[in-house]
Amino acid sequence: MKLKKGISLIDQHDQNGFWGNKFGGSFIPETLKKPIEDLTNEFKKLRKDKKFIKKRNFYFKNYIGTPTSFVKLNNLSNHLGGAQIWAKVVSEANGGAHKIYNATVHALICKAMGKKYIVGDTGAGYAGKMLSMAAKKFGLKCKIFMGAKDIKRQKPNCDAMKKNGAEIVPVYSGSQTLVDAVSECMRYWVSNCDNTHMCVGSTVGPNIFVKICGWSTAQISRELKVQLKSKFKKIPNKIKLINCVGGGSSAYGFWSEFIDYDKKQIELIGVEAGGPKKSKLHAAPLSRGAKLGILHGAAAYCCQNNEGQINETESISAGLDYPSVSPIHCFLKDTKRARYTYATDEDALNAYQLVTKLENINPSLEPSHAFAEAIKIAPKLSKDTIIIVNSCGDAKKDRDILRERLGKK
């Protein structure tokens, strides 16, 4: 299994949609074949269309607000000693997380296809909130599928969705989290694909959704590349890009421009959700050695039992609480281009406390997993090592959990 150079990772799949002959594909019911083929053709056309690119860039700049800032975390670096720690503060993007890139692009595609309805899944509520924002902006009717457990624990984002006029459809089946929301959203699309566009909230699902999402979040690393050159005059020699991984959309977006670099120069580190320290459950298929399986239309490493029933997962972070992961990250793992590890709930909470005590940023529980890894490795590294953490979400949505777990703030 090998990566190709000079070709975007989202395009390195074979004609059946598999990366490395193994990951991805489109395992879908017959009814969705046609809508997915239509979407595939439309996306192929649009990404080459200068007018569409111009439009995308316009909204990225004027609506999402690019570039998001790239800052050194001096206090945290000094406190830990060792490597320099920097953050790409993607949570500055409109709405407070990277999910806005994918949502905006999907809304534009939906418009281009002449559809008036858009539906999507959400876990942390950011994908849903952003889709509701983009739908409102572009005059689309929006439905968001969300697990009942997540509706309770991510209330601020639910309030935002409702304010934007979206309907939240609570999902009560299974573990009542993201995995069930995605299933229910797909079921809805099966029944309404004639007039409705579906957005998958991460780089997961049938091949085309992985591609569209990756194409959208890639904006993050395009910006970072420019920012690195302007801060350091050239791309530094020792970089570590640390990102949390749920489905993997923010990690892919953070890394996509840097895949071709040697890993000795730019190391890519993905941090999954290890769940509560004392629990057997987790949401870390890559770092805890889950087997290949098929979930939501794609073959990927997936937490499951040996019969193929999907396992329940557990994480303090709703956004990472998903049993499978992007086929692109499976490919990066097996080609050894990226390294994957996990942080527990407790690690993430500790990291959140340290970062917010020392710095003027407020990372949500998802990127707090990435900070946990940065905090762990920084002291052992040299001063000229540049650790960059993607601070891809704002902790406002985690208000209730943080209050409960850390006391009054």
Partner 1 sequence: MASLINQAFKKAKSENRPALLTYTVAGDNTKKKSLEILKSISNYADICELGFPHNTPIADGGQIQTSAYRAINNGIKINDVFSVAKDFKKSKKTKPIILMGYYNMIFQYNENKFIEKCKNVKVDGLIVVDLPYPENKKFSNKCKRKGINFIQLVSPTTSPNRLKKIIKDSHDMIYYISMLSTTGGKLKVVPKKILERYSKIKNQNKSKNVVIGFGITEKTIKSLKKADGLVVGSAICKEISNSIKKRQNPVTNVTNIVKRLKKKIT
Residues that bind ligand PLP (CB under 6 A): 97, 99, 123-124, 126-127, 202, 244-251, 319-320, 364, 366-367, 392-393
Q: Hey, CA dihedral for 76, 81, 86, 87, is it positive or negative?
A: negative
Per-residue binding string, partner 1, 135-174, x by CB under 8 A, is --------------------------------------xx
Q: Which is nearer to partner 1, 282 or 296 (CB)?
A: 296
Helical packing angle, 126-137 and 155-163, nearest 10°: 10
d(CA 141, CA 105): 16
Contacting partner 1 within 173-232 (CB under 8 A): 173-174, 179, 183, 186-187, 190-194
Judging by DSSP bridges, how do beta strands 266-273 and 338-343 pair with one another? Answer: parallel
31 binds, among partner 1, ligand PLP, none (CB under 5 to 8 A by kind): partner 1
Rounded to the nearest 5 percent, the helix, strand and coil shares of the chain are 45, 20, 35
Q: Does 21 bind partner 1 (CB under 8 A)?
A: no
Q: Does 16 bind partner 1 (CB under 8 A)?
A: yes
381 binds, among ligand PLP, partner 1, none (CB under 5 to 8 A by kind): none
Contacting partner 1 within 274-313 (CB under 8 A): 291-297, 304, 306-310
- Considering all CA atoms of the chain, what is the largest pairwise distance in Å, rounded to the nearest integer? 57
Least spacing, CB of residue 36 vs partner 1, in Å: 10
Cα dist. 182→31, 133, 146, 211, 296 in Å?
A: 17, 19, 8, 17, 7
218 binds, among ligand PLP, partner 1, none (CB under 5 to 8 A by kind): none
Q: Which is nearer to ligand PLP, 124 or 302 (CB)?
A: 124
Match 């975390």 to its residue by tokens.
Answer: 73
Q: Which is nearer to partner 1, 292 or 358 (CB)?
A: 292
Q: Which ranges in 164-206 belong to alpha helices (H)?
A: 178-192
**Secondary structure (3-state) at 347:** helix
Match 């052992």 to its residue by tokens.
Answer: 380
Q: In the numeric block, which tokens belong to residue 73?
A: 């975390």
Contact 351, 79 (CB under 8 A): no
d(CA 208, CA 214): 10
Residue 171: partners with Cβ closer than 8 Å, 6 or more residues away? 145, 146, 147, 148, 180, 181, 183, 184
Q: Which ranges in 233-379 belong to alpha helices (H)?
A: 249-255, 327-334, 345-358, 365-377
Least spacing, CB of residue 201 vs partner 1, in Å: 16
CB atoms inside a 10 Å sphere around CB 358: 16
194 binds, among partner 1, ligand PLP, none (CB under 5 to 8 A by kind): partner 1
Least spacing, CB of residue 37 vs partner 1, in Å: 8
308 binds, among partner 1, ligand PLP, none (CB under 5 to 8 A by kind): partner 1
Question: What is the CB-side half-sphere exposure of residue 112 using CA atoms within 13 A?
Answer: 22
d(CA 347, CA 115): 44
Match 């995995």 to its residue by tokens.
Answer: 179
295 binds, among partner 1, ligand PLP, none (CB under 5 to 8 A by kind): partner 1
126 binds, among partner 1, ligand PLP, none (CB under 5 to 8 A by kind): ligand PLP
Residue of 29, 65, 81, 165 that binds partner 1 (CB under 8 A): 29
Q: Does 24 bind partner 1 (CB under 8 A)?
A: no
102 binds, among partner 1, ligand PLP, none (CB under 5 to 8 A by kind): none
Q: Which is nearer to ligand PLP, 115 or 223 (CB)?
A: 223
Q: Which is nearer to partner 1, 133 or 210 (CB)?
A: 210
Least spacing, CB of residue 50 vs partner 1, in Å: 30
Q: Which is nearer to partner 1, 133 or 310 (CB)?
A: 310
391 binds, among partner 1, ligand PLP, none (CB under 5 to 8 A by kind): none
Q: Which is nearer to ligand PLP, 26 or 202 (CB)?
A: 202
Residue 185: partners with Cβ closer than 8 Å, 6 or more residues away? 119, 120, 121, 145, 198, 200
Binding residues for partner 1, per CB under 8 A? 16, 25-35, 173-174, 179, 183, 186-187, 190-194, 291-297, 304, 306-310
